[in-house]
Structures are given as C-alpha cells and as structure tokens.
A = this chain, B = another copy of it.
Amino acid sequence: MESNQKHNWKTILHEVIYEADTPSGKLFDILLLVFIILSIVLVMLESVVSIDREYHELLYIGEWVVTILFSIEYILRIISVKKPFKYIFSPFGIIDFLSTIPMYLSFFIVGSQALVTLRALRLLRVFRILKLARYLGASNQLKDSIIASRVKIMVFLFAVMISSVIFGTIMYLVEGEANGFDNIPKSVYWCVVTLTTVGFGDIAPQTALGQLITTFIMILGYGIIAVPTGIVSAEYVRTSQKADKENEALAQNNDNKMVEHQNDNITIHLNSQHCANCNVSNHRDNSDFCYNCGHPLHH
C-alpha cells in the first residue's frame, strides 16, 4: 500500500518534471527556463570586472541560490525515473551534472592558485544553456534536412578544407612572415576567414600578387557559399512539397476541415511526454503505451 503511494508520488513528480502537458508540468518548465537564463546572465555579469567589483556579494549569493535549486532539480530527476542510471549517463543528465558541480568543487579545491582554474570550471555552467534545447522539439524538420544532406555537407566541408590548405600554403609563400602570414596554420586560418567572407582584416595581403590571389579566393568563396545554401534550400523545398502532397492526397478523401486538422497532426504529431519507465520522449499524441517499452502512458 505504501509502496503504491510512493509509486504514485513518483509518478506525479515524473509528470511534473519530464512532461509539459499538465499545468504544473508547464509551470515547472517555465520556471526552469527562467532560472537557466538567470544563471547564464549571472555568469556573464561576473566576468565583467567593473560589475563584479561592485556587486560581488550579490552575484555570489545568486550563484548559490541557482546552484542549490539546480541540485534539488537534479536529485528529483534521479528519484522520479525508474532507471536513474539511464538518465545520469544521458547527454542531458551529464549536462545537468556539469552545470551544478563546479560551485561545490570550490570547497574541496582550495588555494590561491587553483582559484583561476576554478573560474574556468564555474564557467562550464554556461552549458546550462543547452538545457534550453529541451524546448527545441520543433526543430525536427531542421534536423531531418541536415541529416538528409549529410553527405553533401561533408563533401562541401572537405572542399573548404582542401581549398584552405592549398591557398593558405600559397599565400604563406607569396606574402611571408613580413606581412603577417607567420606560418602555414595561420595562413590556413586566414584563408578560412576569407573563404567564409568573415574577413577580420587583422591579417591582410600587402603584395600585388597576394591581393590577386586573394581576389580569386574571395570569388571562389562567394561561389562556395552558394553550396550549403543550395543544399538546405533544395531539402526544404522537397520537405514542404512532400507535406503539401500528403495533404492533397488526404483532401481527396475527406472534407477540408478534417484535412487541416490532420495536417496539424502531421507537422506536430509528437508531444513532450516522457515514459515513466524508460524515459523515452516524443510519443504520438494519442498513444496509450510507450512505443519503446510498452509501459502505459499517463494522460
């Protein structure tokens, strides 16, 4: 009986923490979002010397408040899942751990010299921003486009790499150390800066021949920029046409109202629910059982 009650308590907790379909679950997610952004702003402000000098106390307290809240969240997450190790070693589990631990470490690793390194560890908490990725469910189409054009993107990156190494070496020979092209790796770096049309200008060709080659590199870069854009565009056009066709096909069997509804289902047919047993998410909206382990889902 007590075990059952405990189970119920854990089930409710699971729903609040891992799902965004209930009012309390939504509230939890919004609060979490606010605290993540707050904690990132805190880390940023601390790095500004003038602000840190004046409000050091306040920022330090803020840091501890955020750290303690994140620790509680981390523990609750572990408690409410049936298979805690699966969560702990999942990418989100590792991020949650890494964004909480640095403040505690500052107790154990004491010493004036170590403090500098500690700052770096504390900055890891900026990875909290990755927690925001939880809200990126809508990016599935984007991910699909990228996966579909994986090979093409690899070929493109390869082309950029090869061009950069060859032109970087040529520019090193042409311009030399006197004009800022100190060594080949730096020349290759400059070449990527130019090919991607970033053009910092901290290093720039000074000789006539160097400028001629640069002209060629820039026009090449102009052409290369077209490739990833073309790939993604084509992929998007394809995806949206596929969706349009599916809707048209549906439209021939149903009335228009129905189709619009089904269209919504096609594009956003997954919800944010996590299985209480295996913690897998992205279930179809009407599922009664987890598609992964068959455990019943709570609506």
Asked if A165 and B236 sit within 8 Å, CB to CB, the answer is no
CB neighbors of B among A105-146 (8 A): 120, 123, 126-127, 129-130, 132-133, 135-136, 138-139, 141-142, 145
Chain A contact patch, size range: 35 or more
Q: Interface SS of chain A: helix, strand, loop or mixed?
A: helix
B40 to A129, Cβ gap below 8 A?
no
Instruction: Give the shortest distance, in Å, between A225 (CB) and chain B (any CB).
Output: 7
Bound-state CA distance A169–B125 (Å) is 10
* B229 close to A233 (CB less than 8 A): yes
Q: Does A186 contact B (CB under 8 A)?
A: yes
Instruction: Pick the contact of A232: B129, B132, B151, B226 (CB < 8 A).
Output: B226
In the assembled complex, the CB of A224 is this many whole angstroms from the nearest CB of chain B, namely: 8
**Contact of B166 with A127 in the complex, beta carbons under 8 Å:** yes
Q: Which residues of B contact A197 (CB under 8 A)?
A: 196-199
Give A82 to B192 CA distance when docked, in angstroms: 41
Cβ of A184 under 8 Å from chain B: yes
Cα-based distance from A165 to B47 in the complex (angstroms): 13
12 contacting pairs across A/B (C-beta < 8 A): A48-B185, A126-B166, A145-B230, A160-B219, A160-B222, A185-B208, A194-B198, A196-B197, A201-B202, A223-B228, A230-B233, A237-B237
Given A142-B156, A189-B211, A189-B214, 13 further pairs, Cβ under 8 A: A44-B188, A47-B184, A49-B182, A138-B151, A153-B223, A188-B215, A192-B215, A198-B198, A200-B201, A222-B225, A234-B240, A237-B237, A237-B238
Give me the interface of A with B, judged by CB distance under 8 Å: 40, 43-44, 47-49, 120, 123, 126-127, 129-130, 132-133, 135-136, 138-139, 141-142, 145, 151-160, 162, 165-166, 169, 172-173, 182-186, 188-189, 192-194, 196-202, 204, 208, 211-212, 214-215, 218-219, 221-223, 225-241, 244
